[in-house]
Each structure stands twice: as structure tokens, then as C-alpha cells.
Structure 1
Amino acid sequence: MSTEPLAHADEIAWFGETFATIVDAVGAALVGKERVVQLSVACLAAGGHLLLEDVPGTGKTSLARSLAGAVRGSHQRIQFTPDLLPSDVTGASIYDPRAQAFEFRRGPVFANIVLADEINRASPKTQSSLLEVMEEGRVTVDGTTHQVPSPFMVIATQNPIEQAGTYRLPEAQLDRFLMKTAIGYPDPEATIGVLSGLAVRDRAASVTPVIDGTQVLRMRQIARSVHVSRPLLEFTQTVAERSREHRHVRLGLSVRGLLGYVHAAKAWAAGQGRNYVVPDDLKELAVPVMQHRMLLDADAQFDGVTMLDVIDELFDAIPLPAAATADR
């Protein structure tokens, strides 16, 4: 039996309304991509970080900037390049000759939402400086620890093509992102809508704040109190176990991945106006939460097996529980 305090109906109603308001605000800048926007907002509400991987020109940066613009808090954009140094991300101690002392100058990572644009173009050392902040929520320079603002979220983008001179994130570092998703090209009707609005040069810049940092923290608190039944928890554990034993998988779902899966499902359920998770929530989030946390073996890649094939096979082989609140 679960002893966690269950979110009240009025809290869930507020969460759902706020969730929809953010989706509408961001969706005005990213036409025809409602599901991707919903996933991004759920990631924000769950307290996770988001990785956007897609071909150039699909709106990755626009989505990140729009989500940052919808939050009335500080946000910074870091353009990752091969010559970017860790101190350019975290900040550095600068000597002040007048005070005859070193003073810490904060880097762009000290913001509520940080856009790490084309993160795979920086060196592994610079990437690690950001990923450490994502994990710890703080920066340590010259033995002194500095906390980043709360809430804190990193939205990173990378292109899967033009890999010459780039450094792809290792799987162990990808695991620090709660979700990974792709935007894709819009459908014909949405494309025409974008073309007909050419007078609006920068849609992302026109997004006005609809929520502040305090409300983001409240959303995260409410999401944590959403109920997940024991059968659903057992299902996620079984998925992780089977993923580690799968014939095509070299690296299966980690415990951190399981925790992220449950956190994401809670935020998604609250966004749909429920204070409990249902099996469809887990199915909806399986790909964005799991695809970047597992690694295929060489034979699978040679045979043309994709991570989506593996996830589909796992869900086909493991029956989803019928009830979501049976143990409440």
C-alpha cells in the first residue's frame, strides 16, 4: 500500500490548466507539433532535462527558446563550439586587483532554463562541465560550491548528421536527460500555416511568460504526489529487467532510467488532469524516456533493428496491468 500524500483535486485541476496554458503558448511558436510540446512541458514539470535531436531546420532551437520564454525566470543560451571552455559554461574566478582577491564570475549556466545549442560540437570536457551541473545542481570552482537557481532545467540540441568534428554524448551522459525527442517536419497544412505567417520573423521571441519559477516548483511538487499503483511499478521494473536481457541490447534500462520513467509518468498524468498514472501513460512515454538510455549491439545494427523495434517488442511481450489504482 502506498503512503504518499495524494494530490488534491483542485491541485490537479490547476496543474492541468497551467499545463495546457504553457502548451498553447509554446505551440504558437512551433506550429503543428503539439505532442512534442506536451512532452517538453511534462519534462519541465517532472524536474528533468530535455535533449532534442533532429535534422537542421525543424525547430529545435525555437522549441527550446519558446519553452524558456514561457517561464518568467532567467534563461540563457550557450552556443556550443569546438573552442568553448568549461569556464565559459560554469564561470571562473577572476582576480580583482583593487580588492586583491579572486571574485567568482558566474557563467551562463546560472539560470532557470539553459539552452545548450548543438551540444555535440563542444569537446567532451566542456560537455562534462554542463552535465555535472545537471546532475548535482551546483558548480564547484576552486573548492567553493555555488548553487544554480531553482528551478533549473537544461534543454540541449544536437544534429544527428554532419558528425565530422563533433563529439556525440556517451550513453552514460545521455542517461542524465529525462527525455529525448525529435520534432520532425510539419505536415503540409502546418507548413502552409508557417509560410503564410512569414511576417512574423521570430515566433519564439513573441512568446510571453505564462508561468514563473515559483509555479514551476509548485507543479513539480504536485507531480510528485501523483499516485502510481504497485502493478504499474512492477511493470516498469519488469521492462527494465527484460531490456537488460534482450538479445539485441548491450546496455539496458538503468535504475536512474526507471526513476525518470516514473517521474515523467506522474507529470504526464497530472497534465491530463489525473492524480494517478494509468497504463497508457507508460506507453505514451516509453520512447522518449527509454530510447536514449539503451544501447543496441553490433548485430542489431547490422540487421537493421532499431531501438523503436526493441521497445515495441518489450511492450508486446509484457502485458500491461489492467488497473492503475487497485492498491490505493
Structure 2
Amino acid sequence: MHVHSSQFEPPQEVLERVVYQLEKVIIGKRDTIEKLLVALLCGGHVLLEDVPGVGKTMLVRALARTMNCSFKRIQCTPDLLPADLTGSSVFNQQTSKFEFRPGPLMANLVLADELNRTTPRTQAALLEAMEENRITVDGEAYTLPEPFFILATQNPFDFEGTFLLPEAQLDRFCIKLRLGYPEPSEEMELLNRVEQRHPVTQLRPLLLPEEFAALQNEARRVHLDDTIKGYIVELAAATRKHKDLLLGASPRASIALMRVSQARAFLSGRTYVIPDDVKQMAGPVLAHRLLLTPEAMMGGRDKEAVVDDILAATAIPSKRYAPAR
């Protein structure tokens, strides 16, 4: 099996090959794939919201094959219990002791399919895992493997049998992405590719989990000037006093925007963050955490448009962003 060796190959070239391989399965969605990688580079969890059948689950399966990591899929249903996610203690009659049987959360990459079809109680079982990279079962804490990502999919809320995700849960997703329908030419290409067999079966591992963890460490070292930090704080503050919003971005959202800006700069081959990194990622990081006022909702406003307004109204810092030599 051939996997990347970071010793011989620049990180950006490795990541470019990852993007290229994922594009074989999800056609015409390079921007979404890059944003997904950016979130994973900063250790973030991702929420994929879209209608059924556009490739959300296939994208996560392709990613697991590419990273050669342990992968578990949870099909979320209304009768799913917290123990179905975390695992449980089972009595072993031979040893007369309780033994922990791990649930699907004990994997590097966890796909929570149709997360908003399970109850708020079960959704809450994910909060500790997402925030602290550990789970607690019968009073015992278990550390989750490194790296650890939850990629959750959800259908739009007007679909039958869905529950609204609580704000505390949404705030723990680093970014929210949509795939959208392919263009007719891309859909034609998809039909051609899957005619004989699905391209996901032909994907090969390009990275080991520990190599991806090393790339994450490199991404965290990307330089972030104080002017950029100030810009992020200004954007977050603007959401908290915007007339169309009941709930603005939390400090956790500011941290997420800082981390994804570093990761985006790293993916672009830069050693420092520029304002464009922040602007490109502000929508995916901030919009899903905001809560519109009833008046704004009745007026047909959407959260992404509010973020765009805030970006347009906030002055971009103008000075050198690279570290001083």
C-alpha cells in the first residue's frame, strides 16, 4: 500500500492529491471539498446539509478511504439511544466483571447520517465527544482516537420527521457546507463514471492518520497577525448587534474562524493568514450559529446574506500580514 511520506513531499502537494482523488467521486465540487479539508486540518467537525442523494455520504466514505483511517457510520433514527453511540458496559459472566463495549464513536472518522432525525437527547450524547474528544460511560471517561472527526449530514428542516438541532450542538460544528445539485455536464460525467462500478471502490489511501495529525500541527503554526485577529473579533462583534439577529457568534465561533483561516492559508501554501482567508471562510463558519429575528425570517432574510452584509460593512485591515523577519 502506498501512502504519502511527508518527509519527501511538500504538504500542499499531498493535500492537492487528496482533493484530486475526492473529485473523482464528487464531481464539480472542488470548493466544497477544499473547505471540508480546511475544517479537518484544524480538527473541526463538519455539518453537511442538503437534500438526499447529492453525495454527502459518498464524500465521507471517499475521505475515509483516502485517509486510511477507522470509519464508522451511524444511521440516525428517532429510536437511537445515547448508548448506541458511545457504547455500554456489558457484564462478562466468565470474569464476573463489567466490560466496556465501544460504540461507533470510537473511530477516527464518524459519519452521523441524517443527524436531525434522532432525538435531542441522543444528539446531546455527541456534545462531549465533539468538544472534549472523549466520552463518559457509567462514570468512566474514555479518550477518543486521534485524529477524531464527526461529519454529520442533515436534510433541510422542512423534511418530514426531522428535529431542529439545538444551538449548543450547532455551535460545536466548525463549519456547515452544502453540496448542491451538479451541473448537467457534471451529472453526465457522473453517470459515465458509475456505469461499470462506483469510483469510490478504486480509491487508494494517500495518508495515514498520524501523517494527517502532523499536517494539522503544521497548520496550527501558520502566522496570524494581530490585525487579522482584530478583524475576526470585529466580525464576531458585528453579529452580536446586527438588527436581523437574535443570537450572534460566540467566542467559540471566533476561535473556529481563526483556526480555519490558518488552515486555509496552509492549504494555499502560505505561512501567514491574509484577510481573504477570513472572508472566504466567514460564511461556512458563522452562518449556521446565528439566529434570525422573527421579522427577518418573515422578510425572507437568510443567515448567509447577513454574514455577507457584515463582511461588506467591516473595514479590511491594510498592512503587511507576514511575520517580521
TM-score (ref. length: structure 2): 0.94
SS at match of 2:169: helix
Choose the corresponding residue for 1:267, options 233, 238, 263.
Answer: 263
CA contact (8 A) 2:120 2:166 kept: no
Query: In the TM superposition, what whole-angstrom CA distance separates every residue of 1:120-159 from its partner, at most 9, and x where no partner exists?
Result: 1111111111222111111111111111100000000000
Conserved in 1, the CA contact under 8 Å of 2:283 and 2:308? Answer: no
1:168 to 155, 164, 167: 164
Structure 1 residue 111 corresponds to structure 2 residue 107:
yes
Which residue of structure 1 aligns with residue 191 of structure 2?
A: 195
Instruction: Quote the residue 1:3 is aligned against.
Output: none
1:295 corresponds in structure 2 to 291
- Distance 1:277-1:303 versus aligned 2 partners, 3 A rule: same
Corresponding residue SS for 2:289? coil
Q: Offset at 1:206?
A: 2.9
Matching residue's letter, 1:56: P
CA separation of 1:288 and 1:324: change in aligned 2, threshold 3 A = farther
1:132-143 matches, within 5 Å, as: 132-143=128-139
Matching of residue 281 in structure 1 with residue 246 in structure 2:
no
Q: 1:197 is paired with a residue of what secondary structure?
A: helix
Answer 1 or 2: higher relative contact order, Cα 8 Å, separation at least 6.
1
Question: Any idea what the Cα deviations from partners look like across 1:235-262, whole Å, max 9, x if unmatched?
Answer: 1101111110000011111100000001
Structure 2 residue corresponding to 1:146, chosen from 138, 142, 150: 142
Query: Hey, which bits of structure 1, 4+ residues long, moved more than 6 A?
Result: none
CA drift at 1:164: 2.9
Q: Which SS does the other structure have where 1:103 is aligned?
A: strand
Query: What is the CA–CA distance in structure 1 between the aligned matches of 2:177 and 2:151, rounded to whole Å?
Result: 11
CA distance in 1, matches of 2:200, 2:167: 31
Give the share of equivalent positions with the same residue, in percent: 40
2:316 paired with 1:315:
no
Aligned residue runs from structure 1 range 108-257, under 5 A: 108-257=104-253
1:139–1:200 distance in 2 versus 1, CA, 3 Å: farther
8 A Cα contact 1:40 1:50, kept in partner = yes
Summarize deviations over 1:245-295 as a string: whole Å, max 9, x none: 000011111100000001001011000000101111111111111111111
Cα distance in 1 for residues equivalent to 2:283 and 2:205: 29
Match of 2:3 in 1: none
SS at 2:243 equivalent = coil
Q: 1 CA distance for matches of 2:304 and 2:102?
A: 41
Kept after mapping to 2: 8 A contact 1:78/1:115: yes
CA contact (8 A) 2:240 2:247 kept: yes
1:39 to 35, 41, 58: 35
* Residues 2-22 of structure 1, C-alpha deviations (whole Å, 9 max, x = no match): xxxxxxxx99x7221121111
Contact 1:31 1:194 survives alignment (8 Å)? yes
Give the Å deviation of 1:326: 6.0
Partners of 2:116 and 2:154 within 8 A in 1: yes
Report Cα offsets for 1:48-93 as digits up to 9, x if no partner: 0000001111111111111122111211111111111111111000
Once residues 215 and 246 of structure 1 are traced to their aligned partners in structure 2, the CA distance between those partners, rounded to angstroms, is: 42
Separation in 1, partners of 2:281, 2:311: 12
* Structure 2 unpaired stretches of 5+: 1-5
CA contact (8 A) 2:223 2:323 kept: no
> TM-score by structure 1 length?
0.93
Query: 3-state DSSP class of the match of 2:73?
Result: strand
- 8 Å contact from structure 1 (residues 278, 323) kept in 2: no
Distance 2:245 2:157 in 1: 24
1:323, CA displacement in angstroms? 3.0
1:152-178: CA deviation from partner (whole Å, max 9, x where unpaired): 000000000553322121122101010
Paired residues, what number? 318
Q: 2 CA distance for matches of 1:167 and 1:205?
A: 33
Q: What SS is found at the alignment partner of 2:110?
A: strand
User: Which residue type is aligned with residue 36 of structure 2?
Assistant: S
Identify the residue that residue 6 of structure 1 maps to in structure 2: none
